[in-house]
A = this chain, B = another copy of it.
Amino acid sequence: MQVLTVARKTGKQSVLLERDIALLSAATVAGPKEGLGPLAADFDRICSDNIMKEESFEKAERHMLEEACYLSLGKARLTPDEIDLFIAGDLLNQVVTASFCARKLAVPFLGVYGACSTLAEGLSLGAMLVEGGFAKHVLVGTSSHNCGAERQYRYPTEYGFQRPGYAQWTATGAGAVVLGSGGEGPRVEAITTGKVVDSGIKDPLALGAAMAGAAADTIYNHFLDLDRNPSYYNTILTGDLGGIGKKLNEDILAGKGYDIRANYADCGVLLYYPHQKAGSGASGCASSALVFLSHFYRKMTAKKLRKILLVATGALHSPTTVLQQESIPCIAHAVSLEI
């Protein structure tokens, strides 16, 4: 029986980790549009098209996630056999990208669903399971594909649906990260697990606005639980609020007494250039994966940024709940990373 120090629960929603749980490696595979964006130089691979010689967009997404997983394992100098748990999720019905990728990896697998908050949910769970001694190495992965997601949630892209300017663009790509104890990478230092927050928005194209309340609630409770202020972090990084949701999040937090504007960024705002016609910005599980696991992970390992609060956000609706005129429940999970 091992005797170890374990996590401290702090406040209602947060835990502090004590055992130097690190992101040992990270890898990103970006779609072609993402590869034309401002972060192109930070991706490990950029796909030249959306289909990757596969028979369907769904299989192309799976291909991207598998590649991100193997790239991440390679960087950590680990084989799948050395992975105790694979934690993954995506947007497709029945989370099939993750499940089929788990079939290929053939390691113990826990499927999660947090919509676009999946990266933070996976990092949270993986870090806690390593900290608790339940696993030595955990692989976390997530992905989304514009063409697969659009035809499932809204219309096939071939239909040419006219998108309103406030809509977001589901990012195409995948990211994976290996968690373990020790090593040189950024540490998962604290975790705040989100509650579902529903702001009453029913428009499934206004996801940034719908998710802003959940992001603000999690960030607020993170500050409260850990007695921190926005200035504690070099960057507070939300997942995919886009321009509209980012502004709303700033406003809600200002109303609660926290001005985050000085060091606040949103992955959805950063992934594309304005001329790329991505509306209010990127969305999808790949938004936070492509931006955090490339650009910000590199900045952290280069010690140019030392403290980041990653707050990935997810809209937990389905096309059926939208047709049934339900409002959109949203969630955000926060992971504090330090190096």
Contact = CB atoms under 8 A, between A and B. Distances in A.
Interface of A: 1-9, 12-13, 15, 18, 55-56, 58-59, 84-85, 89, 92-96, 99-100, 102-103, 106-115, 121, 124-125, 128-129, 131-136, 152, 193-196, 198, 316-321, 324, 326, 329, 331
A93 B125 contact: no
A7 B110 contact: no
Contact of A112 (B110, B318, B320): B110
A56 B321 CA distance: 10
A193 to B, nearest CB: 4
Given A55-B324, A84-B9, A319-B93, A102 B329 contact: yes
Main secondary structure of the interface of A (DSSP, over half): mixed
Given A92-B318, A132-B6, A108 B193 contact: yes
Contact of A109 (B1, B133, B193): B193
Nearest to A135: B9
A316 B135 CA distance: 23
Contacts of A5: 1-4
23 contacts: A1-B18, A3-B4, A4-B4, A4-B6, A7-B134, A13-B108, A58-B320, A58-B324, A93-B93, A94-B113, A96-B318, A100-B316, A100-B326, A102-B195, A102-B329, A103-B196, A109-B193, A109-B194, A110-B124, A110-B193, A111-B121, A128-B134, A132-B132
Nearest to A81: B12
